[in-house]
Amino acid sequence: MESSVGLNPIDGAVNQTIFGMLLRSVLIMKFTIYATIFCLEACPLLSIASAQVLPSKKEEQVELNRDRRADQLNGAAKASEIIGMTVKNYQAEVIGKIEDLAVDVESGRIVQVIVATGGFIGIDQVRSAIPPSAFHHDIAAKVLHLNADREMLRNAPDFNRSNWASFNDSDHLAKVYHHYHEDGAFGFISHDDAVAYGMIPTTRLKQIQNASGLIGMPVKNLSDQVLGKVNDILLDMEAGRLIAVIVSSGGFLGMGDELSALPPTALKFTAERKNLLLDATKEMLMAAPHFKSHEWPDFAQPLYTSGIYRSYRVEPYFKQNADNSALNARDRDGQSLTPLDQGNSQADLEITAQIRSRIIASKGMSINGQNVKIITQKGKVTLRGPVDKAEERLIIEDIANGCALIGNVDNQLEVKRINHGN
């Protein structure tokens, strides 16, 4: 019997399937090997390309963050508290202490911060000048952070207080800012004699003051009347700005321990530079916001602080992001009155001052209530801003009605909304 070995159709199909699977496995393995080799060769090139792109992106972000800091209100710190404050790096090592600040009142600028580093982290007794924008102010911890290691501090430009003027010239300042990679923030020097808002002419650099010396300096008006003396200076360290000069004006106003906040750019020096000058009458000073020495308002609120600037017809350097949308909408439409619209006549100034003094004398009035905007124009009074309670709104309206003619008070005060959430 002749035997023959034949292929079963089913077995053939199975064998073809197995062969196909093996072939695919081999191809996949080859592809994986080639892909791995390609990645090993290409990845360094990709890494180099990425390394070339990332620093550029980082630099752009640093510049963007600096620009944002410069046109925002980044907290409000007293110069008397900043002087003597500990400086640490981000490794929590103590670098030194703030010895003083070089400032220019007329432009509202912090020019550089003087740090004493003697005996800290192995560095000899030296004074270093550092750009204000190089610091991060941790308000809660009451410490200033500086991103600097020992090597950077050892090689930093020094500062000699005995030769103050020469260490505040444009060449020295350029070295200081460049050393801390803050070149982008070094744009406030004007290379001509023109005094633009927020700019310092090179001719005035030698007249930069130390903040500690400004505290206690008399403030006069153009009639040579003493309005008070400098109580403190409010600083926005990260923006490199003076927010306000706080003046103890109570004696001049006949109000005891009253303090007034003045925009720095509203002040000028006398010829001998021993006094600050404010172009304002007693009535204008009384009409502007002021407060008790034990009841400081929150100057970190842009809405409040911008109101102070406008009381003296000065534009704030920061953006005013308000917390009251209805009020802001009216401000933006260009139709609402602002403190810049205050009338200059003696009668208008006296009405505003009288309303302000009566509001402050009213018992139980909140800080918001004491500092509402009062604009008198041709005898008509406009009241604007937030108050804490509906009762305050009515009390202030009654006070205004008692000082102005009946029917001449426009009450636009709004009760502050309370957020009951976290």
What is the CATH classification number for the domain harbouring 133? 2.30.30.240
Out of 186, 209, 232, a domain closes at 209
Out of 209, 226, 254, a domain closes at 209
Distance CA 36, CA 100 (A): 60
Q: What is the pLDDT of residue 417?
A: 55
Distance CA 378, CA 243 (A): 31
DSSP letters, 20-74, are HHHHHHHHHHHHHHHHHHHHHHHHHHHHHHHHHHHHHHHHHHHHHHHHHHHTS--
Q: Provide the whole-model pTM.
A: 0.65
Q: In the chain, how many domains are there? A: 2
Kindly report the backbone phi and psi dihedral angles of residue 94, in degrees, each rounded to the nearest multiple of 5, phi listed first: -75, 125
Q: Are 190 and 201 in contact (CB under 8 A)?
A: yes
The CA radius of gyration of the chain, in Å to the nearest whole number, is: 33
What is the CATH classification number for the domain harbouring 347? 3.30.1340.30
243 in a domain, yes or no?
no
382 in a domain, yes or no?
yes
The SS3 of residue 234 is strand
* Residue 203 neighbours by CB under 8 Å, 6+ apart: 193
355 in a domain, yes or no?
yes
Q: Are 80 and 137 in contact (CB under 8 A)?
A: no
* Residue 36 neighbours by CB under 8 Å, 6+ apart: none
- Which range marks the domain in which residue 111 is found? 83-209
66 in a domain, yes or no?
no
Phi-psi region of 406 (alpha: psi -120 to 50; beta: other; left: phi over 0): beta
Q: What is the pLDDT of residue 184?
A: 75
Task: Outline where 130-254 has alpha helix (H).
Answer: 150-154, 170-179, 211-214, 250-253
The SS3 of residue 118 is coil
Tell me which residues of the chain have a pLDDT lower than 70: 1-71, 118-125, 194, 252-256, 320-340, 417-422
331 in a domain, yes or no?
yes
End-to-end CA distance of the chain, in Å? 98
Neighbouring-strand partners of residue 130 = 113
Q: Are 159 and 128 in contact (CB under 8 A)?
A: yes
Kindly report the backbone phi and psi dihedral angles of residue 209, in degrees, each rounded to the nearest multiple of 5, phi listed first: -100, 160
Structure tokens at 182: 């803050």
User: Which amino acid is present at 382?
Assistant: T
Out of 194, 209, 224, a domain closes at 209
121 in a domain, yes or no?
yes
307 in a domain, yes or no?
no
Q: Are 198 and 188 in contact (CB under 8 A)?
A: yes
127 in a domain, yes or no?
yes
